[in-house]
Structure 1
Amino acid sequence: MRRDEFTEIRAFLEVAQERSFTRAASKLGVTRSALSHTVSALEERLGVRLLSRTTRDVAPTAAGARLVESIQPHFESIAAGISALGALRDKPSGLVRLVCPDDAAELVFRSRLPAFLRDYPDITVELIVDNGLTNIVERQFDAGVRLGESIARDMVAVRLGPDVSYAVVGSPEYFAGRAMPATPQDLTDHNCVNLRLPTSGALYAWEFEKDGREFSVRVEGQLVLSTMEPAINAARDGVGLSYVPKDLVRQYLDSGELHEVLADWTPTFQGYHLYYPSRRHPSSAFSAFVEAFRYRLR
């Protein structure tokens, strides 16, 4: 394959993945016009249109999708092979790309990333915070982070931390003049902060458990958010009740700034796990990252 052919195909794959010439150009470090010219040259050489372009969207045509399916795995193998050369160095090096929800970024990575970056100065970590169910293969992430229950069985899963407990919390100001809920059904009488799920667009139904029975309650309130930190701040500000990971609010519970209710009803979930495809060939940088963040029972 000639160098210009390789460049054209790589450019096409980036645009097909990002669904945007602008984002793909940014990743490749070229101008949008140069990228568009490169992809057009590939289409002209092959004699078939690979991308459908509109003012709002860019998507592979049927021919483009077929080309992505046939050549993407080979480009991934090339990238993995190049990354594996880092193993020949004295220290692991390279880029590790991850996607995780905002609560995991705080609970798993905030306290541990600084030491990892100091120990491995030749490794760059790109951590994208996204609360949706991101397709890590399609978006070319090395791995993603989710609670154990939500990881597909065809993925390799590595536990990153202990089980995660959730809590329903509110401020003393909010509870002033209000009866605290004794059961999840009592939440209908309260102003609850809802969380919008980015993938489905639905509101998250609060999950509860009692005597082995699991159930969900759809709550109502004046405020709908998409991430955890604003939900915690809303509870602290007396807006209403929030349903959040308990470790994220432990300091506020200890100080009395927040009160927990329905503690006997809130469940514990499997901890956060790093997940990635079983067919993936890990680079030295990724292997070092997995070992550094793997949760080990003490």
Structure 2
Amino acid sequence: MKQNFTVRQGALDGVEAFLSVAEHRSFRKAAAQLGVTPSAMSQAIRTLEARVGAALFIRTTRSVGLTEAGDRFLSRAKPAFEELVAASEVARDLGQRPAGLLRLAVPRAVVPIVLEPLIASFCADYPEVEVEIAASEEMVDLATAGFDAGVRMGQFIAADMVAVRLTPPFRFIIVGSPAYLARCGRPERPDDLRHHACLRLRRSNGAIALWSLNDSNRAIEIAVSGPLIANDFPTMLGAAVEGVGLAQVPAPIATGLVKAGKLVQVLEPFAPMGPGVFLYYPGHRQLMPKLRAFIDHVKARSNAGNKARTRRSPIVS
């Protein structure tokens, strides 16, 4: 059987014309309201009646009235059409100004460091936008899960996404507690890690991540072992603070603990550089104003941060 690949003529064709004629009881007045000719109005009604399969109006030279079918059609069509008009107005409103619910899928580790200050300033600037943060390590499909955008480290973002930088590139550092290092010693070379308790990360695809290092500008990966496997960096970091073992984590989330003396960085010369954290979103659709406003806010904050870092940097001649 041959399939029909054409779009069916809309079931709503002629409904607005019908409602206008039913309201005014006049084809001429209805035509004036909708800005069409009386003959075009009559044709729209005839087409609708043919599609419905029943006469909807009783026409005389002096008046227009509803048939029983027309009266029943009016009782159901009017509230439904009003709901459609209201739905269109709501959608149009969201398409014209930053408002509504902005849903972001983000990993837990970036929430306190990257997103909290950013979200605070964004909410202050755009009070009509509600921000929902779904903190998870899962690599979700934004469209299927109903998210407007996501936040991830650059190496995990698909090539068909548009990415906006949230942080500068940063190193992945290896840290351990003073107590652990006093008990087990300090590794001096990457091969020493094979004799240490190393906390490991299970990725959302089920694989356990290897530890990446940079040895004399050569990228290497090491399969380590240890007593704990976690699916997010904050859990690994907390275990490292408690002396369970060494952890390899993004430098920004460990900086405060290192400064406080709760963690010590080891194998500093071998720490690899990562691309940083990015906001990402599908690039094949028109951006809603709420997401466009958030992207512009991110860029403005990033530019301000870059200028501040430039002012603090010494001039090298």
TM above 0.5:
yes
The Cα offsets for residues 162-206 of structure 1, whole Å up to 9 and x where unpaired, read as 1122111111111114321111211111111111112x2111111
Report SS of the residue matched to 1:111.
Answer: helix
Structure 2 unaligned residues grouped into runs of 5+: 1-9, 13-86, 308-317
Q: Does 1:184 align with 2:190?
A: yes
Q: 1:95/1:180 Cα in 2 relative to 1: closer, same or farther (>3 Å)?
A: same
In the alignment, what sits opposite 2:125? 119
In the alignment, what sits opposite 1:148? 154
In the alignment, what sits opposite 1:86? 94
Q: 1:174/1:2 Cα in 2 relative to 1: closer, same or farther (>3 Å)?
A: farther
Q: Partners in 2 of 1:80 and 1:246 — Cα distance?
A: 47
The Cα offsets for residues 125-146 of structure 1, whole Å up to 9 and x where unpaired, read as 1111121221112222111112
In the alignment, what sits opposite 1:254? 259
Q: Partners in 1 of 2:165 and 2:294 — Cα distance?
A: 13
In the alignment, what sits opposite 1:197? 203
The Cα offsets for residues 231-261 of structure 1, whole Å up to 9 and x where unpaired, read as 1111111111111111111122112111100
Percent identical pairs in the alignment equals: 34
Q: Partners in 2 of 1:154 and 1:229 — Cα distance?
A: 29
Q: Does 1:274 align with 2:282?
A: no
Q: 1:262/1:96 Cα in 2 relative to 1: closer, same or farther (>3 Å)?
A: same
Q: Does 1:286 align with 2:294?
A: no
Check the 8 A contact 2:175/2:247 in 1, yes or no: yes
Q: Does 1:231 align with 2:236?
A: yes
Taking CA–CA contacts closer than 8 Å with sequence separation of 6 or more, which of the two structures ends up with the larger relative contact order?
Answer: 1
Q: Does 1:265 align with 2:273?
A: no
Residue correspondence of structure 1 range 1-298 to structure 2 within 5 A: 83=91, 85-86=93-94, 88-89=96-97, 92-198=98-204, 200-294=205-299, 295-296=302-303, 297-298=306-307
Q: TM-score, length-normalised on structure 2?
A: 0.65
Check the 8 A contact 1:168/1:244 in 2, yes or no: yes
Report SS of the residue matched to 1:102.
Answer: coil
Q: Partners in 2 of 1:163 and 1:211 — Cα distance?
A: 19
Check the 8 A contact 2:95/2:289 in 1, yes or no: yes
In the alignment, what sits opposite 2:315? none
Check the 8 A contact 2:180/2:243 in 1, yes or no: yes
The Cα offsets for residues 74-116 of structure 1, whole Å up to 9 and x where unpaired, read as xxxxx99965633645xx2111111111122232102221121
The Cα offsets for residues 257-286 of structure 1, whole Å up to 9 and x where unpaired, read as 111001111111111111111112111111
Q: 1:284/1:184 Cα in 2 relative to 1: closer, same or farther (>3 Å)?
A: same
In the TM superposition, what is the alpha-carbon distance from 1:2 to its structure 2 partner?
7.1
Root mean square deviation of aligned Cα:
2.2
- Give the letter for the 1:172 counterpart: P
Q: 1:88/1:140 Cα in 2 relative to 1: closer, same or farther (>3 Å)?
A: closer
- Give the letter for the 1:117 counterpart: C
Check the 8 A contact 1:84/1:282 in 2, yes or no: no
In the TM superposition, what is the alpha-carbon distance from 1:210 to its structure 2 partner?
2.4
Check the 8 A contact 2:96/2:289 in 1, yes or no: no
- Give the letter for the 2:231 counterpart: S
Q: Partners in 1 of 2:142 and 2:165 — Cα distance?
A: 17
Structure 1 unaligned residues grouped into runs of 5+: 4-78
Check the 8 A contact 1:144/1:275 in 2, yes or no: yes
In the TM superposition, what is the alpha-carbon distance from 1:149 to its structure 2 partner?
2.3
Q: 1:136/1:80 Cα in 2 relative to 1: closer, same or farther (>3 Å)?
A: farther
Larger radius of gyration: 2
Q: Partners in 2 of 1:188 and 1:238 — Cα distance?
A: 17
- Give the letter for the 2:146 counterpart: Q
